[in-house]
Amino acid sequence: MSACISVTSSVISSVALAALAGCGDSDGREDSTAASASASASMSGGSISMSGGESGSSSGATTPTTGPVEPTGTSDVTVDPTSTSGGSGLLVIDPAKSTVTLEDGVAPPQQLTAKLGGQPVTALWTSEASFLGSVDDSGLVTISGNYGGQIQVEALHEGQQAQAEVDVFFKKVITPPEVTEADKLLLDAAMNPDVEAVLAYPYDQMVYPKGLPSPELMWNGSAPGDKYLVHFSHALLDVKVYAVAEPPSRLTIEQGLWDSIAATVNGDTMDLRIHRLKVGEVAATVVADDTWTITSEPLIGSVYYWANSLGRVLRINPGALAPEDFLLAGGQDGCSTCHSVSANGKTLILGGDIAVSTWDLVKNAPVLDLTTVGKPIRDWAMAAVSPDGSVVVENGEINLPGPPGGGDGMWDALTGLKLANTGLEGITLDMPAFSPDGTKLAYVDHVSHALSVYNYDAALKQVNTPLELVPPGNDPALNGITFPSMSPDGKWIVYHRGAYPNSLDTRFGPGHLYIASSETPGQEVRLAGANGDAYPFVAGPRDLGWNYEPTFAPRTSGGYAWVVFTSRRTYGNRLLGTKDEAKQLWMMALEENPTPGVDPSHPAFWMPGQDLNTLNMRGFWALVKDDPGG
């Protein structure tokens, strides 16, 4: 006889991100807690379902609700009689479904009983390793994790098997001394919308990856002395944070609590409400009533970007709160710019201004200086590098800042020598980019400026079967297809459009994000969700039309494909000013399997870990340098 328990919740993972920065005008790229404690459990009948929380095994999503369904009862344990059966001689676990409340890290144990024909029977209880809870030999379930989720218990007696489910409801209340019990009652009762205060960041309907730092909430229109309730709710979650946030109002949920929230939601949606009690008022108002999705998996990989104000390529690593100046650590303090990174995270290609063309990211050391083989450093500016880091395809768009000096053919990334029989002899490509799976090479046609793609044979280092996908079009404000990047499976291409040739420089004109099929010509969709075309930005039209240089992550995670892009939009009330004063990296989730003709993008979020004091651009996403498996 045996029984087993499994939890649909996994350990909170860290996120891998990395950032790259670049040089100034030399490239023409830029100018210049008291909390209440209680624990309760309730039980009810029902069949077993897997959802919520996280585990080292599989996970699923709960049905979204408009608020938490908190367990009720007058004692720690109450039993719904409908959850007990077994008179027919079948083995059951009583109760079949129960809920325990985890509040301030404390939850009561839940006793389960195996019954046959309505009578208790002895069973040998065993459990799998779990971060949320475990069952002992007597059927007592003990909660050990610090998040909500669902535990599925399985029992075996004389060849019969039974199952039960224990839901863990996560509850937390944080109240600072400035907020009285009377204040809390008023804040809890808010119903009417606030006509003054408005949430500036994060955006409603955003998809936010598990494992990232807690996003900072920022709102405008507040007044000194105002008091607030920030309320996160979900079928297995009820977190209330009361606060005082003086203008400019900002609040960051403590990281440990945020991790518990994210682990509980785990691939589902949750509701966020912000209520305000204005000084002197007898009723609180609703500042925000938004919905966020928290993914079931963390992001994969590091992001390399160009910090223009600093003049170097930087990297943001998994879980980091600040970028890593890895080139400086490797002895390079000069201006490094016009970079690209292999999808496996091992090779960095530079196109100026230091005498390094190929950089080994694992050893953090230079490999090749193009001038030693008679080629100018700029020849590899903004080039394509194959996923394994072995092949470079030069960029022939001469109107780019710099400019690059690319020509035809393919080149060995380690030796700088030209390869033979590549299929690109005599053919110059503009802004080429390999797909992370190594099967395709996207580019903008050097003559027609159309988005196009080749099939790529990595074994032969050879392209074939060119296919024109999307023409530049006749709209002079959108006829510049710029910086294509391919999805992990090579089926989709993201890029930005603008007025050619100003579209090639983030200083000189608007940019708008698009996606196109790499298999079906003419299948193009504007990424309205990420662009924010219909979003009520607090900054208004100021935040529309300044999005550039999108780059896919090399792998999907949590059911989404991920893209990092450059944007000159404002960032809450942290980064304001004109478009020339703001340039940061933002991220967006795309549906993993887009439907043709339908925008797969979600509202973007600011990439954590950047320095707000630098102008950042041209993010490249790659697997972690010392973990090619991601």
Contact status, residue 248 vs residue 218, Cβ threshold 8 Å: yes
pLDDT at 309: 83
Give pLDDT tens digits for 343-381. 999 999 999 889 999 999 999 999 999 999 999 999 999
**The residue count for the chain:** 630
SS3 3: strand
Mean pLDDT of the region 312-330: 91
Reading the block at residue 275, the tokens are 């209520």
DSSP 131-165: SSEEE-TTSEEEE-SSS-EEEEEEEEETTEEEEEE
Give pLDDT tens digits for 414-444. 999 999 999 999 999 999 999 999 999 999 9
| Average pLDDT over all residues of the chain | 87
pLDDT at 626: 55
Sheet holding 492-498, edge to edge: 480-486, 492-498, 512-517, 524-526
Query: Distance between terminal CA atoms of the chain?
Result: 40
Q: Is the dihedral of CA 361, 363, 364, 366 positive or negative?
A: negative
Give pLDDT tens digits for 573-585. 999 999 999 999 9
pLDDT at 189: 98
- Structural domains in the chain, CATH included, are 3-12+33-168 (2.60.40), 172-294 (2.60.40.10), 367-609 (2.120.10)
185: part of which helix (H) or strand (E)?
helix 181-188
Res. 545: pLDDT tops 60: yes
Q: Considering only 38-47, 162-171, 385-394, 468-477, which range has the smallest mean pLDDT?
A: 38-47
Res. 60: pLDDT tops 70: no
pLDDT at 56: 36
pLDDT at 625: 64
Compute CA distances 396 → 15, 204, 281, 427, whole Å.
35, 40, 64, 10
Mean pLDDT of the region 595-613: 96
Residue bearing the bigger pLDDT, 222 or 37: 222
* 294: β partners: 208
Give the amino acid at 323: P
Quick one: pLDDT band at residue 114, thresholds 50, 70, 90? very high
DSSP state at residue 587: E
Pairing, β 391-393 against β 384-385: antiparallel
Q: Considering only 34-43, 304-313, 475-484, which range has the smallest mean pLDDT?
A: 34-43
Q: Can you tell me the distance from the alpha carbon of 78 to that of 558, in angstroms, rounded to the nearest whole number?
A: 36
Res. 322: pLDDT tops 70: yes
User: Rounded to 5 degrees, what are φ and ψ at 542?
Assistant: -50, -35
* 228: β partners: 243, 276
Quick one: pLDDT band at residue 129, thresholds 50, 70, 90? low
pLDDT at 27: 38
Give the amino acid at 127: S
Q: Can you tell me the distance from the alpha carbon of 278 to that of 257, in angstroms, rounded to the nearest whole number?
A: 27
DSSP E strand boundaries for 175-280: 198-201, 207-208, 216-220, 227-234, 237-244, 249-252, 269-277
Quick one: pLDDT band at residue 125, thresholds 50, 70, 90? confident
Give pLDDT tens digits for 263-309. 999 999 999 999 999 999 999 999 999 999 999 999 989 999 999 88
Contact status, residue 393 vs residue 380, Cβ threshold 8 Å: no
589: part of which helix (H) or strand (E)?
strand 584-591
Give the amino acid at 606: W
